[in-house]
Chains A and B, each alone.
Chain A
């Protein structure tokens, strides 16, 4: 399953980011943030290809010890990044692709919402995922987005808490005030 899903704007700031073990969210922030280097690199390499033949799916961006980071870029340069548990071998490229496609459809739905300003953070009711039906504030299209994201995210298997060497250091010394 995906442990983290992120939608990143053209200007490389997060529109939506959500990880399933919510307690160590910052780790995924860093992971997704650094993956943008690879995305940029791949996009610039792809730039030469013809626009209509362009593959939106970027494939594996980079593996870490515990996770694999996959990328997807829309024609409007909005990036989707998904982090999956590397121990989960059931996920093949095809599954990842279809997850991205679902995500892309949901994102399109959000963009269709007339109450959504492009560039704003995407509000998600995922925090209150116990009650999805009541959680929709901003219109039906967005609700479907939440539902789908929820489905994508909740396939199964929480992550084993192994940490990569750098992951160990993400937190650093406690920044207590």
Chain B
């Protein structure tokens, strides 16, 4: 007895063993189809009694086990069914012979046998035989089950006869000693007559009868026999057989207590046969009734029958607790015999099954522990595998999952033990997979994504390693890649640096042959291996959708009526904010849009946890909602990098709402699709974005060089291009802007606006001006086409001199006469450009005043010009294509940086009255601050050449201005309540007017650059007053001819009519005035001779009176003069001092001096 049957359970004790075997060449398929049909007949209710026979079929049974049949009758092969193919009658005798040979093997124990012949037809098949059945084919054998039933009945008859035969043995007869194979030699020469020997024989026979009763379905009888046997054998210390008797007792009790069966499969089989559940529940009854039916059998047996069956059963049958005790005892009996190892092992297994049903795991584990230590002879590898597998199964049965997994793993390792010539990697792999639950390991990475891993990492890693190795040896690299990826992904925290390196290296080796995919791998046995995305290689901490660059950002046109007001609420403003649920946070919509067809970016913060450089290839975005062309990136992350920003890009191809679901990578040759939802510790600021229809793209290039200057960030706008230019003050330059449509959509709309950034400098005139019409004529601009746009840049800053510069200049001799002399504000007509000196300037130019006088702020002394900077932004708003239809536009900004170098300065300005009262001379001290020679020209004057650093005075004769006749400056529309500002406005308007008249230009011949110069900034109130045409217009007419600068001619002796005419253009009435005419002669040497009483006489009064003149009124007074001598006379018309004239500015009373040339009277 050497081959244990690990599948045995207590119920097997009541079965009859039938071996079904093929003879000759029978295909496995055919054999098993018949075997299956045969073995379905496992339970037979015996005719005319209620006893049930149970049959156990085996297609393979070692004959040496059969030799133990006397010891336990269920080990005895009592029936043999042989299946054979036979196609011709010629082969028949040979076939039949083979059947006999087969019978011989189990011959000693067989009760009956059958031969099933398939394929033979004809004469031989016709003859009726009991032991042979003929069937034409494997398909056509409907009567097989019936035949088997007949066969079993015949077995029953033999069994019953044997049972009765043994049971009724008269005590006088010599009872043969039953013994197991290894005992036979022990009993040679033993005294067979001794009482001890007889008792032994009796005990063993009793036990045997018990077995037979159990098999024959007489449970109660068997219990009685076993009890007796135990008593007998115990008294003679026949331990082996005592064990068997105890085990029989246990088996019978188990059958009684647990009609459902203890061995899972066996129990199920029992129900699928003819037996009904009700019958199974009543199964103990038949045996009991048999006792009643056949009491003689018991009495003749010498046992006192307890006819009160119910009481007897209760007494004979063991309680569940006793079963275990008796099993223990039986096993300890068996353990005394080395050769009974198999019996002991099987008993242990049976006991464990019983304990499993009783849910007594601890005791069961003790039995199993014992079973582990039972040393059988040297086991073959296959047997070892079987043994470990069954141990694992039993441990599983009692709920010891870890122990079960341990033994299963040992079994798996045994499959590929080095001693095996052909290692069964497939079996090993299969067994290893079965251990997974025992190690609380699932192969779904989803289970590991929740927080830190809580498991026995050491053993789990080991198992995974083994899975990888086994699958590789199985020749399934895809599997090993999957397992290895899983190992790397889930056990990363537990791998040492060296292990990480090893694992990744081997992963790379595998993937070079078979890249890892995201597909579900389904194993032949139906296990699914979900894909393993490498969410930790690299670890992604944050995902952020990036807005388009400012120049490409779409903006919504403001619609007329607030579409921007959300329609959710009828209120314009409500403090109640609709609460967004926490779950929405991840899918929160971003507040910007992406544009179809434009490259969009998503920024990921990634982290490499590996101790070496991590190469991530083919990293791209996974999106939904919109067709998105992802442009994968490859990156290389340094070892254990900190958070590292990575930008993934792609182009949305359609419009709508797009969601970024995750990203895909290829790391170590494994493709991974990582979804953001499943990433732990992910931070995202919304992964949903609106994609709007395509818009054109504008690229601008200019004629000016690009600038490294960036404008002040405070400007708010993001500038795409900066250009810079250097200009001299007053110069004008044209900036040609090339507009190129580099997008895919036609550019239909363009708007240009400019914004001058706040500058401290006062700017005169339009800084930037353009004509858009010419450019728009080229629209719509098709993709790839270029349009040009010209902007003229005119810089006109203040030409007046800075204080420090003047201070500096004052040292120079040629200006010395004017500097330092405080100008006479009342009388003087010479007013310098000193800002500090004039109280009026405080009104006019407060800005200059506010500037601290600090030489250090400027450049070094003597360097007149520090360069000034002007900055402006040109905004191009453009749109086109489908995006335009949707109401979107784009904004492109061009930054303009202008460095203004000083050109000329007007260091001083003053006026001189001209000969005519309607004209005056404007004197400008022009200073050339450049290093180049330049020429300055005013309207009509000749050019003035100025060397570098030279200052010269320039006189320009100008007509006086009648400012009042000009329309009021545009600023004066009432919005400037402040009179100061109003005054300033007016001043500026005047300056502009004067400047346009002056038209001063400078030219640098060497550089061929020209520009304007403006006096606007340096005209002050006094100068202006002088330049202004007084509101009271005085005309002096001599002989009816207006006399201004030309000398009027008259004759000596003739009275000359003198008329003083006043035109009042001021808004109020003036006068009355009294004027007196004082004639004098200019002796051209600075002496004025006023004593002309003899030379000139008045006709009438020398004093004129003018009445009050209403606004816009005119008044005149007449007088006459009589020149007595020839000569040049001047008439100085004076006002008499009185109150009224004092109220008006002195300059209003500026009468021309009249020059009269008295000629010889005509003869």
A71 part of interface (Cβ distance < 8 Å) = no
Instruction: Tell me how far the C-beta of A44 lies from the nearest C-beta in chain B, rounded to whole angstroms.
Output: 9
| CB-based contact A175/B456 at 8 Å | no
Among the listed B400, B402, B417, B469, which residue makes an inter-chain contact with A175, where contact means beta carbons less than 8 Å apart?
A: B469
A9-17, A128-136, A146-154: which one contacts chain B? A9-17
Q: Which of A5-30 contact B (CB under 8 A)?
A: 9, 11-14, 17, 25-26, 29-30
| CB-based contact A37/B400 at 8 Å | yes
Among the listed B395, B410, B506, which residue makes an inter-chain contact with A169, where contact means beta carbons less than 8 Å apart?
A: B410
> Which residues of B lie under 8 Å from residue A45 when comparing CB positions?
362
> Which residues of B lie under 8 Å from residue A62 when comparing CB positions?
365, 369
| CB-based contact B362/A37 at 8 Å | no
Which of B403, B414, B440 has the most A CB atoms < 10 Å from its CB? Answer: B403
A126 part of interface (Cβ distance < 8 Å) = no
What count of chain B residues pass the 8 Å CB interface test?
38
| CB-based contact B506/A34 at 8 Å | no
A95 part of interface (Cβ distance < 8 Å) = no
B413 part of interface (Cβ distance < 8 Å) = yes
| CB-based contact A33/B400 at 8 Å | no
Q: Which of B401-447 contact A (CB under 8 A)?
A: 401-403, 406-407, 410, 413-414, 416-418, 423, 439-440
> Which residues of B lie under 8 Å from residue A166 when comparing CB positions?
372, 388, 406-407, 410
> Which residues of A lie under 8 Å from residue B506 when comparing CB positions?
177
Number of A-B contacts (CB under 8 A): 81
Closest to A9 in B: B454
Tell me the complex Cα distance, A173–B432, Å.
14
| CB-based contact B413/A172 at 8 Å | yes
Closest to A11 in B: B454
Among the listed B401, B413, B414, B459, which residue makes an inter-chain contact with A37, where contact means beta carbons less than 8 Å apart?
A: B401
A36 part of interface (Cβ distance < 8 Å) = yes
Instruction: Tell me how far the C-beta of A74 lies from the nearest C-beta in chain B, rounded to whole angstroms.
Output: 18
Tell me the complex Cα distance, A37–B457, Å.
17
| CB-based contact A13/B416 at 8 Å | no
B680 part of interface (Cβ distance < 8 Å) = no
A55 part of interface (Cβ distance < 8 Å) = no
Q: A26-B462, A37-B403, A41-B400 are in contact. Are A13 and B457 (CB under 8 A)?
A: yes
> Which residues of A lie under 8 Å from residue B136 when comparing CB positions?
none
A56 part of interface (Cβ distance < 8 Å) = no
B399 part of interface (Cβ distance < 8 Å) = yes
* Mask of A141-175 contacts with B, CB within 8 angstroms, 1/0: 00000000000000000000000011001101101
A63 part of interface (Cβ distance < 8 Å) = yes
B128 part of interface (Cβ distance < 8 Å) = no
| CB-based contact A14/B456 at 8 Å | yes
Tell me the complex Cα distance, A50–B466, Å.
44
A42 part of interface (Cβ distance < 8 Å) = yes
Q: Which of A111-126 contact B (CB under 8 A)?
A: 119
> Which residues of A lie under 8 Å from residue B459 when comparing CB positions?
26, 29-30, 33
| CB-based contact A13/B362 at 8 Å | no
> Which residues of A lie under 8 Å from residue B395 when comparing CB positions?
37
> Which residues of B lie under 8 Å from residue A13 when comparing CB positions?
454-457
Instruction: Tell me how far the C-beta of B307 lies from the nearest C-beta in chain A, rounded to whole angstroms.
Output: 43
> Which residues of B lie under 8 Å from residue A36 when comparing CB positions?
402
| CB-based contact A175/B458 at 8 Å | no
Tell me the complex Cα distance, A47–B502, Å.
46
Q: A9-B454, A33-B456, A175-B465 are in contact. Are A38 and B400 (CB under 8 A)?
A: yes
| CB-based contact A172/B456 at 8 Å | no
B8 part of interface (Cβ distance < 8 Å) = no
B361 part of interface (Cβ distance < 8 Å) = yes
Among the listed A33, A63, A173, which residue makes an inter-chain contact with B418, where contact means beta carbons less than 8 Å apart?
A: A173
Q: Which of B349-392 contact A (CB under 8 A)?
A: 361-362, 365, 369, 372-373, 388
| CB-based contact B372/A38 at 8 Å | no
Tell me the complex Cα distance, A13–B369, Å.
24
Tell me the complex Cα distance, A62–B369, Å.
8
Which of B369, B423, B456 has the most A CB atoms < 10 Å from its CB? Answer: B456
Instruction: Tell me how far the C-beta of B681 lies from the nearest C-beta in chain A, rounded to whole angstroms.
Output: 16
Tell me the complex Cα distance, A36–B456, Å.
11
Instruction: Tell me how far the C-beta of B274 lies from the nearest C-beta in chain A, rounded to whole angstroms.
Output: 40
Instruction: Tell me how far the C-beta of B1027 lies from the nearest C-beta in chain A, rounded to whole angstroms.
Output: 88
| CB-based contact A173/B417 at 8 Å | yes
Closest to B469 in A: A175
Tell me the complex Cα distance, A173–B472, Å.
14
Q: A166-B410, A169-B410 are in contact. Are A38 and B365 (CB under 8 A)?
A: yes
Instruction: Tell me how far the C-beta of B679 lies from the nearest C-beta in chain A, rounded to whole angstroms.
Output: 22
Instruction: Tell me how far the C-beta of B634 lies from the nearest C-beta in chain A, rounded to whole angstroms.
Output: 27
> Which residues of B lie under 8 Å from residue A11 when comparing CB positions?
454
| CB-based contact B458/A29 at 8 Å | yes
Closest to B375 in A: A165
| CB-based contact A175/B466 at 8 Å | yes
Tell me the complex Cα distance, A41–B356, Å.
13
Among the listed A26, A33, A42, A63, which residue makes an inter-chain contact with B402, where contact means beta carbons less than 8 Å apart?
A: A33
Among the listed A9, A14, A41, A63, which residue makes an inter-chain contact with B399, where contact means beta carbons less than 8 Å apart?
A: A41
Tell me the complex Cα distance, A170–B439, Å.
15
Q: Which of B634-663 contact A (CB under 8 A)?
A: none
Tell me the complex Cα distance, A47–B413, Å.
37
Instruction: Tell me how far the C-beta of B399 lies from the nearest C-beta in chain A, rounded to whole angstroms.
Output: 7
| CB-based contact B402/A173 at 8 Å | no
| CB-based contact B465/A34 at 8 Å | no
Tell me the complex Cα distance, A11–B450, Å.
15
A-B contact pairs, 15 of them (CB 8 A): A11-B454, A25-B458, A29-B459, A30-B459, A36-B402, A37-B403, A38-B362, A38-B365, A41-B361, A41-B399, A62-B369, A165-B372, A169-B414, A173-B416, A175-B465
Q: Given A9-B454, A11-B454, A165-B373, list of 5 further CB < 8 A pairs?
A: A14-B458, A26-B462, A29-B459, A169-B410, A175-B465
B contacts, CB < 8 Å to A: 361-362, 365, 369, 372-373, 388, 395, 399-403, 406-407, 410, 413-414, 416-418, 423, 439-440, 452, 454-459, 462, 465-466, 469, 502, 505-506
